[in-house]
């Protein structure tokens, strides 16, 4: 059993699943209505969960408390990604793992805003300006969220910021995959090639939407 934190836990579905698998699951979620739904859902499922109010920049748990921190489709929406990574590093035990998936700056296709072709390739400052404009003037384009996606990722950016937060061992989505996930067909062959060839890996990142990374905390934040 692991002590697991779900950052941006929403309605608590991952917390319920993790608890059923025997883990000690905790969550942090800024939206009060989502926390209420999570409480009702957990009660209906007969599972006890721990879900507190808070954000990735201000996690209300003790230092070195968790073995694993998860952030599913959250990090692209945080206001201060550097502070978020520092906080996640703070609450992880030495040797603990952090996994997140997010919006990719390498793939032109994305689901964060409508009406802007090839938006993934826009420069980051322009992305931020458009997102902040849409939030105020055209909220339907960003799903009426108050925190649209302003953090977009390349492998080199992810590694740089994670290392600054105290993570010294980092894996991208290809390093996290196993050829066996694709059984014996072309998917398994493609995964194996991408793991061995950086050019193929880059081409895969351009074609496939989103990205994911895992990082191990090996030292105190810098």
At 135 the pLDDT is 96
At 192 the pLDDT is 84
Taking residues 165-181, report their average pLDDT: 87
Nearest Cα to Cα of residue 134 among 122, 57, 32, 211? 122
The pTM of the full predicted model, rounded to 2 decimals, is 0.92
- CA–CA separation, 61 and 109 (whole Å): 36
Instruction: Specify whether the CB–CB gap between 56 and 84 falls below 8 A.
Output: yes
At 182 the pLDDT is 58
- Scanning the structure block, which residue is given the tokens 């950086």? 198
> pLDDT tens, 142-156?
999 999 999 999 999
Sign (positive or negative) of CA dihedral 113, 125, 161, 27: negative
Taking residues 194-205, report their average pLDDT: 92
Pairing of strands 211-217, 152-153: unpaired
Q: Residue 8 — very low, low, confident or very high, per pLDDT cuts 50/70/90? A: very high
> pLDDT tens, 77-125?
999 999 999 999 999 999 999 999 999 999 999 999 999 999 999 999 9
Query: What are the backbone dihedrals phi and psi of residue 69, each rounded to the nearest 5 degrees, phi first?
Result: -120, 130
Average pLDDT of every residue of the chain: 93
At 48 the pLDDT is 92
Q: Say how many CA atoms lie within 13 Å of 109 toward its Cβ.
A: 6
Nearest Cα to Cα of residue 47 among 5, 12, 3? 12
Q: Residue 56 — very low, low, confident or very high, per pLDDT cuts 50/70/90? A: very high
Q: Residue 179 — very low, low, confident or very high, per pLDDT cuts 50/70/90? A: low
Residue 221 has pLDDT above 50, yes or no: no
Taking residues 182-195, report their average pLDDT: 77
pLDDT > 70: percent of the chain = 95
At 219 the pLDDT is 60
> pLDDT tens, 58-81?
999 999 999 999 999 999 999 999
At 222 the pLDDT is 44
């Amino acid at each position: 059993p692991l002590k697991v934190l779900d950052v941006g836990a929403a309605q608590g579905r991952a917390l319920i699943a993790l608890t059923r698998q025997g883990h000690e699951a905790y969550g942090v979620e800024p939206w009060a209505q989502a926390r209420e739904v999570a409480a009702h859902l957990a009660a209906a499922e007969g599972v006890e969960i721990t879900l507190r109010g808070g954000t990735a920049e201000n996690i209300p748990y003790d230092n070195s408390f968790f073995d694993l921190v998860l952030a599913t489709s959250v990090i692209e929406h945080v206001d201060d990604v550097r502070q978020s990574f520092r906080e996640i590093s703070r609450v992880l035990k030495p040797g603990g793992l952090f996994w997140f998936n997010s919006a990719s700056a390498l793939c032109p296709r994305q689901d964060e805003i409508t009406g802007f072709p090839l938006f993934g390739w826009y420069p980051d400052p322009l992305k931020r300006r458009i997102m902040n404009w849409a939030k105020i003037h055209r909220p339907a384009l960003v799903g009426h969220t108050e925190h649209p996606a302003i953090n977009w990722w390349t492998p080199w950016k992810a590694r740089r910021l994670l290392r600054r937060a105290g993570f010294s061992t980092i894996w991208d989505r290809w390093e996290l995959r196993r050829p066996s996930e694709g059984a014996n067909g072309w998917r398994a062959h493609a995964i194996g090639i991408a793991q061995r060839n950086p050019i193929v890996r880059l081409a895969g990142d351009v074609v496939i939407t989103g990205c994911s990374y895992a990082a191990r905390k090996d030292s105190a934040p810098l």
